[in-house]
Chain A
Amino acid sequence: MLAKILSTSYLGVEGYPVTVEVDISSGLPAFELVGLPNTAIREAKERVRTALKNSPYPFPPQRITTNLAPADIPKQGSYFDLPIAIGILAAQNVIPTHSLNEYAFVGELSLDGNIKPIKGALAMALTVRDLNLKGLILPRENYQEVITVQQIELIPVSNLKEVVDFVQTHQYKRPDTISPPEPAEPCDIDLKDIRGQHFARRGLEIAAAGGHNLLLIGPPGSGKTLLAKALPSILPPLTEEEALEVTRIHSIAGQISHHSTLFTQPPFRQPHHSITPAALIGGGRIPVPGEVSLAHNGILFLDEMTEFRRNMLDQLRQPLENGQVIITRNRYRLTFPTQFILVGAANPCKCGYYGDPITPCICSPKEVKKYFQHISGPLLDRIDLQIQVSRVSGKELLSQHRSESSGEVQNRVELAREIQRIRFVSERFKLNSQISPARLAQYCPLTSQARQSLTQALEQLQLSARGYHQIIKIARTLADLRQSTIIQLQDIAEAIQYRSLDRIYR
């Protein structure tokens, strides 16, 4: 007897349907599993056998052949345990089969028949929705994660018996109280707690408003890390579409707590400088998202950026430029989205005090020059805002003058973003930093004065074409923050001074 059970899997961030076919025939007792399973799936045999026995449901002493179709895509993960077990029961006619093709099943079995949480539940629920199926049977722990997918019936189950009961009666235990989604991790750093640093605060505001990349350079203890960590507090919350994208990636990477629902705040990722290329960009035999994708729609913060290996930083160039990484394996190409704001923090030189008014720098001019060569030119060229963070003086530190709070800055950022949303409504990109060179003239009208000073700067600073474009884009954001449609001289003038590295290290 043959049974077909629907399930889903994912490759990259896209889900796809999988049909689990189970055939039971007479012959030498054996349990065969085909359809390019990896080790975790192959071991499903023992989990399914034991879970069925302990639930207790019959496990036939017959020849069981299981196929995971489409058979040419390598599959991984433990979430086929449940569909295989249900398939074995259906093939023995232990459970009715007429309604099975309306629901998809995913879940990992433990030996006692309990169902354990899986990775990527959100991607799977979205696939089920796109396939126009009636519902998804999934582990109870994953329920909160997918609760926002409302177009399909979500049936949370905690053991095999509940699944069988559902298939027989179409009744299931609804979660008694839907616990309110855990408040997003409060951003515990508020701009109002940061004294002084007016220049850097302005930089953060621009970065947040236009999605520009930012590099903070300053001596040790000047507050670079603190400033970077305050950036999430002024970013607007994610839109529903962005939240789905972010949660889907985190769900596939298994970086999600089972108590929270959608991400509402932009993610903030801070990889250590010992990170490997695969962990940064994404990779593996069956590729999983890396830090750049986990930072999608949020912030990738590289503290002590000069300590990262040079080739590691250079790998960021493609994701920064294209907003996605493409990972190619011999059977398929996967695209992971990587629209993030890059925030780097670094000391100005090896000893850390170059340009500091108090502590003298002990580096030789050659060493100073060499220090930033660690970050390659092409990467630095992609960082629009290069900001010097100087030490906060004792007077500023002790002053009772209240700094502006994150909330106030966030309001201005949201206004600027709203202007951009309306302006780019028919475009594929959303933020000023993503304007393509072809559209620059259309979206960034300059006054003649502004144009003149830009031409001058171009000659004097020997800017690259990209540098030229970036100055215009930053000026666009500055104009948006002022709520002006035309870019004026003051915007251009301010934008130019944020490209400070060229000036200092040349």
Chain B
Amino acid sequence: MNKIELGEMGELLALEYLINEGYTLLAKNYRTAFGEIDLVVSKDETIIFVEVRTRRTLSFGTPEESITRVKRERLIRLALQFCAHHYLYSQNLRFDVIAIYLDNDKPKLHHIPHAFSQEV
């Protein structure tokens, strides 16, 4: 299983989890010139942008740790672009992180709602 396959598998696991939790899928792998948002879902009139991180080993840190400031800023830009693109104004926006750790092929999933916000 290479890195791309691993990522896709993680995203599918995350999507399955979110749908079970009552979220509605708006977009998957929303891609623009700046980059990509893994999942865009909605629930309770809030649009949630989800970044999925999948890891097989913890030797390079936990999946949650791997979201840097640059990555956060990029996600915020992408989210604003997504909203502009779909004419979504004055909506509640939220950024979630789903961390998946594949331990002996048994995935452990950790959902962090409202993982970060815009730094002012």
Contact = CB atoms under 8 A, between A and B. Distances in A.
A61 B97 CA distance: 14
A32 B118 CA distance: 9
Contacts of A29: 93-95, 114, 117-118
A27 interface: yes
Interface in A50-99: 61-62
A358 interface: no
A26 B44 CA distance: 13
B92 to A, nearest CB: 4
Contact of B92 (A30, A31, A61): A61
Contacts of B119: 30
Contacts of B2: none
Given A31-B120, A32-B120, A26 B91 contact: yes
Residue among B46, B90, B114, B120 with the most chain A CB within 10 A?
A: B120
Interface in B69-84: 76, 79-80
B120 A26 contact: no
Interface in B83-117: 90-95, 113-114, 117
Nearest to B95: A29
A28 interface: yes
Interface residues of B, number: 16
Interface residues of A, number: 11
Contacts of B93: 26-29, 61
Contact of A28 (B46, B113, B118): B118
A31 B118 CA distance: 8
B120 A28 contact: no
Nearest to A26: B92
Interface string A16-53: 00000000011111111100000000000000000000
A62 B92 contact: yes
Contacts of A31: 117, 120
Given A61-B114, A61-B117, A28 B79 contact: yes
B26 to A, nearest CB: 16
A317 B15 CA distance: 76
Contacts of B117: 28-31, 61
Contact of B120 (A25, A27, A30): A30
Nearest to A30: B118
B37 to A, nearest CB: 14
Contacts of A33: 120
Interface string A356-393: 00000000000000000000000000000000000000
Nearest to B119: A30
Nearest to B79: A28
A7 B94 CA distance: 31
Contacts of A27: 90-93
Contacts of B91: 26-27
A33 B117 CA distance: 14
Contacts of B114: 29, 61
A25 B46 CA distance: 12
Nearest to A45: B120
B76 A28 contact: yes
B90 A26 contact: yes
B119 to A, nearest CB: 8
A62 B46 CA distance: 10
A61 B118 contact: no
Residue among A26, A27, A29, A32 with the most chain B CB within 10 A?
A: A29
Contacts of B120: 30-33
A33 B79 CA distance: 23
Interface in A156-180: none
Nearest to B117: A29
A32 B114 CA distance: 17
A27 B118 CA distance: 10
A252 to B, nearest CB: 30
Contacts of B95: 29
Contacts of A32: 120
A26 B88 CA distance: 11
A28 to B, nearest CB: 5
A67 B113 CA distance: 27
Nearest to B48: A61
B77 to A, nearest CB: 10
Residue among A27, A28, A62 with the most chain B CB within 10 A?
A: A28
Nearest to B47: A26
Interface of A: 25-33, 61-62
26 contacts: A25-B90, A26-B91, A27-B90, A27-B91, A27-B92, A27-B93, A28-B76, A28-B79, A28-B93, A28-B117, A28-B118, A29-B93, A29-B94, A29-B95, A29-B118, A30-B117, A30-B119, A30-B120, A31-B117, A31-B120, A32-B120, A61-B92, A61-B93, A61-B94, A61-B114, A62-B92
Interface of B: 46, 76, 79-80, 90-95, 113-114, 117-120
Given A26-B93, A27-B93, 18 more contacts: A25-B90, A26-B90, A26-B92, A27-B90, A27-B92, A28-B117, A29-B93, A29-B94, A29-B95, A29-B114, A29-B118, A30-B117, A32-B120, A61-B46, A61-B92, A61-B94, A61-B113, A61-B114
For the complex of A and B, the 6 pairs showing the least CB-CB separation, nearest first, are A29-B117, A30-B118, A61-B114, A26-B92, A61-B94, A32-B120
